[in-house]
Amino acid sequence: MTLIDTAEIYGDGATETLLGEALSGVRDQVFLVSKVYPQNAGRGRIERACEASLRRLQTDRLDLYLLHWRGSVPLAETVEGMEALIAAGKIRRWGVSNLDRADIDELFSAGGDRCATDQILYNVTERGAEFDLLPQLAKRNIPAMAYSPVGQGRLPNSAALSAIGRRHDATPFQVALAWVLRDPMVIVIPRRRPRST
């Protein structure tokens, strides 16, 4: 696994701090993604939020920086901040997370044509994006990053997934993951949740 996805919200920054320690000496071997709170995505605040994430992650740059979800800050202001971070060498690319088709249309109207991705919930049980968002992203040659590609913590008990798995000597989880991976415009981010006791 070489893509690591985090955010300033995870553990209120503690996850970034732990990752910074874990990545010591191997930072250049991973593709590092973090996300900014919507309220921190405005002029001036996005720079401070990014710098705080960089400090916690003990790195000088992010490979990808995402707006975590849509907030009240105008998208044009967020685009301006992201582009300034690229110019300063603090991020290599920027994108969004949890934006729908209308938001993506507005983002492009606001100058967001360098948006690298939209990170979305997408799996065999969450397929709404197929009807409007994924075609819109594909038209613009923007890959989607699917988080929770096998479901939100537990795969539904599905006879169809089990039957397909038996035919291919695979588990239902492998079938669900392969289903998401079938689309070359979808990047999969496995989600790890602690097991409940």
- At 195, the pLDDT band (50, 70, 90 cuts) reads very low
Residue pLDDT, tens place only, 47-90: 999 999 999 999 999 999 999 999 999 999 999 999 999 999 99
Quick check: is 10 catalytic?
Answer: yes
| pLDDT above 60 (res 193) | no
| pLDDT above 70 (res 192) | no
Residue pLDDT, tens place only, 143-171: 999 988 887 666 767 888 999 999 999 99
| pLDDT above 80 (res 98) | yes
Q: Which residues does 180 contact at the CB level (< 8 Å), separation at least 6? A: 122, 123, 124, 146, 149, 150, 186, 188
**At 129, phi and psi to the nearest 5?**
-65, -25
Q: E strands, 39-131, where?
A: 64-67, 94-97, 115-121
Separation of alpha carbons 190 and 128, rounded Å: 19
Q: Check if the beta carbon of residue 146 is closer than 8 Å to that of residue 120.
A: yes
Q: Check if the beta carbon of residue 66 is closer than 8 Å to that of residue 36.
A: yes
Residue 58 per-residue DSSP state: T
Per 3-state DSSP, the chain is made up of helix, strand and coil in percentages (nearest 5) of 40, 20, 40
> Residue 48, SS3?
helix
Candidate list 10, 37, 65, 147, residue with the active-site label: 10
